[in-house]
Homo-oligomer: A and B are copies of this chain.
Amino acid sequence: MNLPLHEKIRSEIEADILTGVRTPGSRLPTEHDLMQQYGCSRMTVSKALSALAGGGLIERRKRAGSFVARPKAHSMMLDIPDLEQEIVQRGQRYRFELSERTIVPPGTPQAREAGLAEEGELLMIAGVHLADDVPLACELRLVSLAAVPEMAAQPFDDDSPGAWLLKHVPWTEAETRIASVAASTGVAAQLKLSVGAPCLFVERRTWRGSEGITQVRQHFVGSAYSLVARFGPAKRAPGS
């Protein structure tokens, strides 16, 4: 491994922390010490320490020094894949079946609840995602036409509105709620399940700045779908 020096310094200190050689709260050598230890300039050491600080492994305080961070309240990265991609990757055929497409006038309770634009019209789209013609998930989506006027012209007979939005509309904030619910009669009918069957329920809202773009509620067939979240060195095969 021919790592650049700052990477080498970073990884050595990281290893010390992860293996417990350096314990949370303890102080690291100063940049000046490390610079002598590795025989390099302060900038190089600083780069290594900054990277560690960026990763949350250490905390740097002026005048005081650098300290191993205490284990934080942790969060993980949740991949939100495009359903079409995911299904195709499984070797199945993807299809989106549009079941409803309406314009919702502003001011209705439905529009208000979605937390989207108070003023403009909303486009409501309902449909089912099918893998080899078997329902995998159904969704009910509201899109602010004020934020995405082009949306009104899209047909979505076959293409999913989620994929289209992902490609064409940039967003800056999103929030996803994940729960487990029993299939209602409506959902059960769409997913060809029995009423009361467990469904993974995902509700997502996205914004650009403070402007709401879309809200979507999806019910996944519980037995056929799961989400995965990760923390740490991404996409590493277990055991390498």
* Interface, chain A (partner B; CB < 8 A): 17-20, 24, 54, 71, 73-82, 85, 115, 166-167, 170-182, 196-201, 207-210, 220, 222-223, 225-234, 236, 238-240
B180 lies within 8 A of A220 (CB): yes
Q: Is the CB of A175 within 8 A of B229?
A: yes
The reply to whether B174 and A231 contact each other, CB–CB distance below 8 Å, is: yes
Contact across chains for A77 and B79 when beta carbons are under 8 A apart: no
User: Do residues B199 and A180 form an inter-chain contact, with CB atoms below 8 A?
Assistant: yes
Nearest 4 A-B pairs (CB), nearest first? Answer: A173-B232, A198-B198, A179-B226, A180-B222
Q: How far is the CA of A166 from the CA of B231 in the complex (A)?
A: 14
User: Does B82 contact A179, Cβ atoms closer than 8 Å?
Assistant: no
Chain B residues positioned under 8 Å from A173 (CB to CB): 230-234, 236
- In the complex, which of the residues B18, B77, B166, B238 contacts A76, with contact meaning CB atoms closer than 8 Å? B77
> A136 → chain B, closest Cβ, in Å?
13
The complex places the Cα of A207 from the Cα of B179 at a distance, in Å, of 26
A-B contact pairs, 24 of them (CB 8 A): A18-B171, A18-B172, A19-B172, A73-B79, A73-B81, A76-B174, A78-B78, A173-B231, A173-B233, A173-B234, A174-B234, A176-B229, A176-B230, A177-B227, A179-B200, A179-B222, A180-B180, A180-B199, A182-B198, A182-B222, A196-B198, A197-B198, A210-B240, A229-B229
